[in-house]
Structure 1
Amino acid sequence: MVTCKETRAAIIALHKNGFTGKDIVATKIAPKSTIYRIIKNFKERGSILVKKASGRPRKSSKRQDRLLKRIQLRDRSATSAELAQEWQQAGVSASARTVRRRLLEDGLVSRRAAKKPLLSKKNIRDRLIFCKKYGEWTAEDWGKVIFSDEASFRLFGASGKRLVRRRKDAVTDEN
């Protein structure tokens, strides 16, 4: 159970004023096991401060994490490996997995980009020309045309599906 500094201070103050563990438990300011643990730790260390948890130190500082976020926001479709390379040029040696963790900590998730029709000025012009050329065709004219389904097959390379990173609650249709 995590207790705030004030609660720990109150438990130790009561203990110093002669209250027993049982008396402090009766006040219901914290669970019984928490109260006894706080008193035990105070007797051993002489302090109410909580020891820093053990674990592997972070590869990056908060400042470097903000830099990664800025790098990512410049190109939202950059892969984690590409971001890791850019971040390494800025002085942080971290894996693509670490990059993904840091971005997730900041609330940035990877999502498939929404598809948008590619309509350049040339596409628009060509469509207009087609419509003018065949606009007056009858059903009989179109009956002479054979339409076929198309399917694409990939042996190598990317599927063409792009991912973008954005906040979980953001709704955009980037491509």
Structure 2
Amino acid sequence: MGKEKQLTHDQVAAIAALCKAGKANKEIATITGLALRSVQRWAKKTRDAGGADPPLQNKPTGRPRKTTPRTLKVLRRQVDASPRITAPQLKEKNPKLLGHVSVRTVRHRLHDLQFSHHNARKKPLVSIKQKKNRVAFCRKYLQWDVEKWKNVLWSDEATFTVTGNRLGKVYRRPGSDTLDPNFIHGTVKHPDSLMV
């Protein structure tokens, strides 16, 4: 069973007034723009109260959150500025906001903010000089047409190793020895290789 939606005091008063006026639940839902199920629930509470003042809403169950919307804004801003920051670091960096909550709560709030944890993508490390050279290369050949590019020989390179580099997969029964020669793949630190 889902959580009961909390209506404002004005919304409950509007339902009660329309209910006393003899309006049907569907009509009340159309007028107030509220869900029919909510209207049915509060109309029944109004009738059960004998048409007196609008019934009070039940107090929400459970302990209220220890973090505030301001805390979420701070977390969002800091994670956007530094994506590599960890939940313990966030807690340590904001003792006033997060000193009274656990690291697990910080992780939950990050999840609420739609942040998901991933391994950083691996890309070749490029120096500032290399970046400038790449941009210069692109600008140099930016105006070339198809005819000029037809005179360029495109090549690639590949490295071949003598020992082989395919790890492959094996089938093992539960409880079998993982170090059995049939289940291992021998490796060498510096295999003989040839680049072509």
TM-score, structure 2 as length reference: 0.47
Aligned to 2:61: 54
Q: Confirm or deny that 1:13 pairs with 2:20.
A: no
- Aligned residue-pair number: 130
Find the aligned partners of 1:53 and 1:45 in 2 and give their Cα distance: 23
For 2:24, the aligned partner's letter is I
Aligned to 1:78: 85
Aligned to 1:87: 94
How far has the Cα of 1:116 moved from its partner? 0.7
Aligned to 1:105: 112
For the 8 Å contact 1:65–1:102, the answer to whether it is kept is: yes
Q: 1:44 to 1:78 in 2, by over 3 A?
A: farther
Find the aligned partners of 2:90 and 2:62 in 1 and give their Cα distance: 25
How far has the Cα of 1:76 moved from its partner? 0.6
Q: 1:41 to 1:116 in 2, by over 3 A?
A: farther
For the 8 Å contact 2:15–2:28, the answer to whether it is kept is: no
- Percent of residue pairs bearing the same amino acid type: 25
Give SS of 1:100's match: helix
TM-score, structure 1 as length reference: 0.51
Aligned to 2:173: none
Find the aligned partners of 2:6 and 2:128 in 1 and give their Cα distance: 63
Aligned to 1:115: 122
Give SS of 1:112's match: coil
Find the aligned partners of 2:121 and 2:50 in 1 and give their Cα distance: 60
For the 8 Å contact 1:42–1:48, the answer to whether it is kept is: yes
Q: 1:37 to 1:117 in 2, by over 3 A?
A: farther
**Unaligned residue ranges in structure 2 (runs of 5+):** 30-35, 132-158, 166-186, 190-196
Q: 1:73 to 1:41 in 2, by over 3 A?
A: farther
For 1:76, the aligned partner's letter is P
For the 8 Å contact 2:15–2:43, the answer to whether it is kept is: no
Give SS of 1:15's match: helix
How far has the Cα of 1:98 moved from its partner? 1.0
Q: 1:11 to 1:67 in 2, by over 3 A?
A: closer
Aligned to 1:24: 24
**Unaligned residue ranges in structure 1 (runs of 5+):** 125-141, 153-175
Q: 2:76 aligns with which of 66, 69, 74?
A: 69
Q: 1:121 to 1:3 in 2, by over 3 A?
A: closer
Give SS of 1:50's match: coil
Taking the TM superposition and a 5 Å limit, the aligned residue runs for 1:24-43 are: 24-25=24-25, 27=27, 29=29, 30-31=36-37, 33-39=40-46
Q: 1:73 to 1:14 in 2, by over 3 A?
A: closer
How far has the Cα of 1:119 moved from its partner? 3.1
How far has the Cα of 1:44 moved from its partner? 9.7
Find the aligned partners of 1:33 and 1:12 in 2 and give their Cα distance: 11
